[in-house]
Structure 1
């Protein structure tokens, strides 16, 4: 019999040929024999999918999207295809820091969602100066406000959740056009299931030509639209958590 999958790493790829091989190599070196890497390619046009398909490691699963759905929908698709007990997100352009998988799994054995820190690629191996603190893990309201305002640094590439929490996290709301990491943060903090791990989980590439991170300052309309979207996430997450509690109590 095939052993059950322990951890699933979910990657959304799109025109990432410059960095994806190096990132996948770092992930495969850190995960275990009974883990998997699920790559959903978002209709790349630069040969990214071919690079992934050429990797012979049996832990790698490649799914090619017939159309470009943008990164939130692509991460959602990868997470819904995951078979593991522990589900992690991974960007195509970072590097995983050795030992990250085991550190985050230890936290997930206690709480349903984990958020690690990042170290900047090319910089010192210390957490970035705006990093999360473990002592703030239980500060639900403070973390939630920080997520909505924008000063709590949750990065999807350093986050994960347990299988038994997937029914709350997935599917991500259809109106969510960015910030899948903030959606996970909102759900986790509302539920009191967030765990901060201070040690860096990835070497993070901040800006390059294929990065989804916005360049420069956003305009007032963009900021307002994003904040309204996050408030909608609070409403949706609260409703899902109420349904989960009713199902658990039988009421």
Structure 2
């Protein structure tokens, strides 16, 4: 069984090496780490090249910019039987891969808990699940998901169903779409033990589960747009 870890990078030079090393030590010789870069202007590319590991595939996102399309670019290149998502600035707990794979023996997708930390990895909150009352279920997560993309792993069939992502990422972020596809079509498992140090440093691409400042009308449109695309996916042969 081959593992593909898909990471989106953009000006991640400050933290990306620590994250890459925390991932690679948990992968086998035949596994891969695909890093899709959105046109970084810092040292990201040089840092990745210095690591000099044949399992790392550093590619450029030549399509639409933004973290959702950047993740999609990485996922399209994945060749593994199991796919993990990774942000550029977190740190994986040492037994993350082993524990997540144990869930995938009986489930199609697993979402782990995370410890929320600051830029120096000092603990802000021990449990993302506790802070945001994370629960399984389609309607729970359709109305207000708290799943973190970087805490997800899933089987190839989930990815095949999810790709391509809906056209407009403004109305359907990658982790929200994967959540909805997973809950709608597959068996989801939850791991209560935090397997990720989820770094919040003020320049993150996502809001980390914090309350959105978007107006109500926008939130309604997001859900209509997502549901419309989900129905189309149901009809796809």
SS at match of 1:145: helix
* Offset at residue 199 of structure 1 (A): 1.4
1:234 matched to which residue of 2? 227
Q: What RMSD, in angstroms, separates the aligned Cα atoms of the two structures? A: 2.4
User: Does structure 1 residue 33 correspond to structure 2 residue 26?
Assistant: no
Q: Report whether the alignment pairs 1:55 with 2:48.
A: no
Alpha-carbon distance in 1 for matches of 2:141, 2:152: 14
Q: Normalising to structure 2: TM-score of the pair?
A: 0.87
The answer (yes or no) to whether the contact 1:144–1:190 under 8 Å persists in 2 is: yes
Single out whichever of 233-242 and 168-177 deviates more from structure 2: 233-242
3-state SS, counterpart of residue 77 of structure 1: helix
Structure 1 residue aligned with 2:168, among 171, 175, 178? Answer: 175
Residue pairs, 1:61-140, within 5 angstroms: 61-66=57-62, 69-121=65-117, 122-123=122-123, 126-128=126-128, 129-130=130-131, 137=136
TM-superposed deviation, 1:45: 0.7
Identify the match of residue 156 of structure 2 among 163, 169, 177: 163
Report the Cα offset of residue 230 of structure 1. Answer: 3.0
Question: What are the superposed Cα offsets for residues 170-218 of structure 1, whole Å, 9 maximum, x if unpaired?
Answer: 1111112353111111111111422111111210012323x11349865
**Structure 2 CA distance, aligned partners of 1:20 and 1:68?**
22
SS of residue paired to 1:8: strand
Q: Any unmatched runs of 5+ in structure 2?
A: none
- 2:207 and 2:132 map into 1 onto residues whose CA distance is 20
Q: Which residue of 2 aligns with 1:145?
A: 139
Give the direction of change, closer, same or farther, for the CA distance of 1:66–1:241 in structure 2 (3 Å limit).
closer
- Answer yes or no: is the 8 Å Cα contact 1:148–1:227 preserved in 2: no
8 Å CA contact 2:2, 2:30 repeated in 1 = yes
How far residue 91 of structure 1 moved from its aligned partner, in angstroms, is 0.1
| Residues 99-138 of structure 1: CA deviation (Å, up to 9, x unaligned) | 11121122222222211111112218943323666xx54x
1:24-45, Cα deviation, whole Å (9 max, x unpaired): 0111112222211000111001
Q: How many residues align?
A: 230
Larger mean CA deviation between 120-129 and 86-95 belongs to 120-129
Query: Aligned to 1:17, which of 6, 13, 17?
Result: 13
Partner in structure 2 of residue 140 of structure 1: none
Distance 1:227 1:104, change over 3 A: farther
Matched position secondary structure for 2:228: helix
Q: Point out where structure 1 has 5 or more consecutive residues left out of the alignment.
A: 138-142
In 1, the alpha carbon distance for the partners of 2:223 and 2:167 equals: 13
State how far apart, in whole Å, the 2-side matches of 1:21 and 1:190 are. 36
Q: Distance in 2 between matches of 1:67 and 1:167?
A: 20
